[in-house]
Structure 1
Amino acid sequence: MLRLLAGSSVFVRRATLGASRRKISTCGFATFSSNVANTLRPRTGYHSPLFTSGYANVAGGSRAVGLWLAGCASMVVGSVILGGITRLTESGLSMVDWHLLKGMKPPWTEEEWEEEFKKYQKYPEYKVVHREITLSEFKRIFYMEYAHRMWGRAIGVAFAIPAAYFWLRGRMPRSMKPRVLIYGSLLLFQGLLGWFMVKSGLKENPESVDTVRVSQYRLAVHLGSALILYSLLFWSAHTLLFQPEMLHETKCLHRLRRATHVGKAVVFLTALSGAFVAGLDAGLVYNSFPKMANRWIPDDITALDPKWRNVFENPTTVQFNHRVLGTATLVGILGIWLMARPVGLPRRARLAVNCLAGMAGVQVSLGVATLLCYVPVWMASLHQTGSVLVLTAVLWLSRELKMRTVK
């Protein structure tokens, strides 16, 4: 009996000691795992799903939030393309009023179409540009502008409903919440800005006797706002969807980062200059390349006074500036591509810089072809789409270069 009790006591002590060792081992492994996770956590301001502990619900929703933001960014690109076609087909002034909800239904009956057509006839575009337009032709340009406005409303719905769902269900990363509020505000501002732009073309302008246009200043701001919104959505979507690739910190990498930042600014500025070209129909004044009417610098490049007005209001100067900026963008991007050769970039970053260089070449070729062919609608629309793709590529490269580095 005594031997049995002694054996039981030894067994209990061994079991207790083994449990303690397992507990210590488990705690040690947990501490080690936590240290590894903190070491590998990307320094991007967001928590990658693979390296987040204690936020399982948020981490699980990060990919869904990223896909939603990517979808919204794609819809913004669609809006930019539709807006460009609307401008090229002179359809943007066919809807002469704007209501957030009332204007969602187009005319259905012949009487409603006649009433809408009579409204249009009261404004300058009909009196100056489309005086011979028929009702069927009016319907075509009306539906073009209607599609553009409805697409903008669709973006608002596609943004607001999932945003509310992710927010209320606790699936949105905390760092994304203020950004989503900013994106929503920009989206609302974009819609109001679009109507503010259209109003500029509905006013009588005694100085314009041959054509009617919206203000090129408001058009550039409208496009610039859309590109900023797209850039922010793309950046956040990429952050949530892609895991970091390791980069070795070197002087070459540091210089490449700075060059890419400059490249983003130049690409954006070139796209804005394209808005002035579209707003003034400047693509129709000198349809030769590389010279402009057998001159490198045309005679009427400083025709307006004061001289600063030529930069924004003289079609010749606007086209000249766009040519120079487009060429500078191509040269700068090729320089970035060459700078990236010795850096030893990981796979995604290499793909991004190659896509950037290739798309820049395609974009310049499209621009020259559009000019030489006297700006056909389909080619000009492809050119505008190309500007968004170049911006996407340079944003992609910049985002890849911000991934976590090692010495």
Structure 2
Amino acid sequence: MFAGLWARGFALECRSATALAHLSRHGSSRLLHQTLPKPTSLPSLARNRVPAWSTLSAFRKNGLWSPSRHLALRAGGSAPRRAFDPRFFSSNAAEIPASELPVLSPPAVGGWLVASAVLVFAVIVVGGVTRLTESGLSITEWRPIAGVLPPLTRAEWEEEFNKYKATPEFKLLNHSISLSEFKDIFYMEWGHRVLGRLIGVGFVVPLAYFALRKRLTATLPRHLFGMALLIGAQGALGWYMVKSGLEDSLMETPGAVPRVSQYRLAAHLGTAFVLYAGMFYTGLATIADWRYANKGWWSGLKENGSQWKEILANPHIKKFARNVKGLTALVFLTALSGAFVAGLDAGLLYNEFPLMGGRLAPPADELFDPAYAKNVDRSDLWWRNILENPTTVQFNHRCLAITTYVATTALYLSARNPVLRAALPPLTRRMATGAFAMANVQVALGICTLLYLVPISLAAMHQAGSVMLLTTMMHLLLSLRRPGAAAQAWRQAFRNAQKAATRR
């Protein structure tokens, strides 16, 4: 019976942040027993909304924790928790009573999101290799469930091969490949699709677990459920992209090359970038909030983390933060323009740098070729050349890449300015340096990919480099982020409790 009552005591909810602030005025530890449970592990820690065992240990050492009193209090009864606490939902975040602390997500949530981002990074790289090896059109059907298993018998392989033989790609390009060669490109596309399904399962199942266990900060559910929907939409968008390369109309178009639409490819890749950035940023933000609530650390500051308000209010920091946001958008746009380069095989033109045909820019009539206009009045001349002319697409990607590199360099140099450097948090300075270093690597990969006629290895590394550059920019943005409201509430509550404990 005693053990049962003790186990039930672990589930005691945090009842009052205000009580923590007035600990000294009450002059006893009973109030603390009503506000803080005794955790035994990280899972129970998150369940009871307690930021850290280390802080509670300090309370126990100071004689502010009594298991017998806690047990008696819990045995006296408390209101049972509802299956879905209204405070869990972000739409009700503003309705949290002042007498209760909000839910603070544990580090496990952040680790899960970062791991999901790593899987998205992997699927982006595998997708790039799939395109470079011209394997994307080898599977002619979209079967979300049955497609998990590849053909297992000779008859099944023959059936898949016959389906591929009916595609424009086989008729125009690969009419001489054998069954063994078909298996190579089939497995590449199959691996890409299975990895996408793995991302879906690896995201939705933990999301359901954390949601049901009420371990998500109030602002998280809406964002995470949106990501889950975007993962499902990404699968449908991928198939919509593949369908554009399977249409029989390609056989009737003179000079047509069987490949997917560059518009759909850019949409598919852009969605993957958004998913990756959202998972990565949210995961690191969750971990950062936990550290701030637990130890008071912020953006690399361990002793002065509480000064984040003064730091972010600095006019120089505000201007720097705006520049970081603008540069992040530019990095994303440059990476997205690379999807048009890939979709049109524009990297196979003008394989030299920095010149194009011996001059800084191709002739104007080549950049804006009237042949790409479809309207009689040629009103679509500009935008169709920008998005459909391989020469113009490569030129635009070069211009964006150079602009991104110059802007990254300027941001790095500004961060080294003595006045701004003294005001920037340590993590911000490190990430500014990391972004500049990654920009140099990415430029080198891009130039080498161009000069060596787009080899698969270099092209795949160049695409991965775009994600890594976006990663450093997201981390740089995170270093200038204010702690979440839940983390601030927890930090203030524990600070008040510690002050009260020292005054006793």
**TM-score, normalising length from structure 2?**
0.69
Shift of 1:230: 0.9
**Cα deviations across residues 29-71 of structure 1 (Å, max 9, x unaligned)?**
98xx9xxxxxxxxxxxxx9936999669x54x52111111111
Shift of 1:403: 3.0
Shift of 1:102: 1.3
Name the CA distance, whole Å, in 1 between partners of 2:51 and 2:115. Answer: 20
Shift of 1:210: 5.3
Shift of 1:347: 2.1
**Cα deviations across residues 138-178 of structure 1 (Å, max 9, x unaligned)?**
00000000000000000011011111111112222222111
The answer to whether structure 1 residue 216 and structure 2 residue 282 are counterparts is no
Structure 2 equivalent of residue 362 of structure 1: 441
Shift of 1:343: 3.5
Name the CA distance, whole Å, in 2 between partners of 1:174 and 1:88. Answer: 42
Instruction: Please give the secondary structure, in 1, of the residue aligned with 2:131.
Output: helix
Shift of 1:207: 2.5
The structure 2 residue matched to 1:85, chosen from 122, 129, 136, is 129
Alignment of 1:295-374 (within 5 A): 295-299=359-363, 300-303=366-369, 304-305=372-373, 306-341=381-416, 342-344=420-422, 345-374=424-453
Counterpart residue identity of residue 447, structure 2: V
Q: Which runs of 5+ in 2 are unaligned?
A: 1-22, 36-48, 57-98, 292-297, 300-304, 374-380, 485-504
The answer to whether structure 1 residue 387 and structure 2 residue 466 are counterparts is yes
Name the CA distance, whole Å, in 2 between partners of 1:159 and 1:237. Answer: 12
Structure 2 equivalent of residue 8 of structure 1: none
The answer to whether structure 1 residue 257 and structure 2 residue 257 are counterparts is no
Shift of 1:112: 1.1
Alignment of 1:136-285 (within 5 A): 136-204=180-248, 205=250, 206-207=252-253, 209=255, 211-242=257-288, 243=291, 244-245=298-299, 246=305, 247=308, 248=311, 249-285=313-349
Deviates more, 1:282-291 or 1:395-404: 395-404
Percent of pairs identical after alignment?
44
Name the CA distance, whole Å, in 2 between partners of 1:343 and 1:388. Answer: 27
**Cα deviations across residues 68-125 of structure 1 (Å, max 9, x unaligned)?**
1111111111111011000100000000001110111111111111111000000101
The structure 1 residue matched to 2:152, chosen from 108, 111, 125, is 108
**Cα deviations across residues 210-263 of structure 1 (Å, max 9, x unaligned)?**
521100000000011111111111111011112323442322111101101110
Name the CA distance, whole Å, in 2 between partners of 1:54 and 1:367. Answer: 53
Name the CA distance, whole Å, in 1 between partners of 2:281 and 2:135. Answer: 32
Structure 2 equivalent of residue 49 of structure 1: 51
RMSD: 2.5
Name the CA distance, whole Å, in 2 between partners of 1:213 and 1:22. Answer: 72
Instruction: Please give the secondary structure, in 2, of the residue aligned with 1:112.
Output: helix
Count of residues in Structure 1 that have an aligned counterpart in Structure 2:
369
Name the CA distance, whole Å, in 2 between partners of 1:316 and 1:250. Answer: 45
**Cα deviations across residues 271-328 of structure 1 (Å, max 9, x unaligned)?**
0100000000000011000001102111211113223211011100000000000000
Name the CA distance, whole Å, in 2 between partners of 1:257 and 1:333. Answer: 13
Structure 2 equivalent of residue 5 of structure 1: none
Name the CA distance, whole Å, in 1 between partners of 2:436 and 2:143. Answer: 43
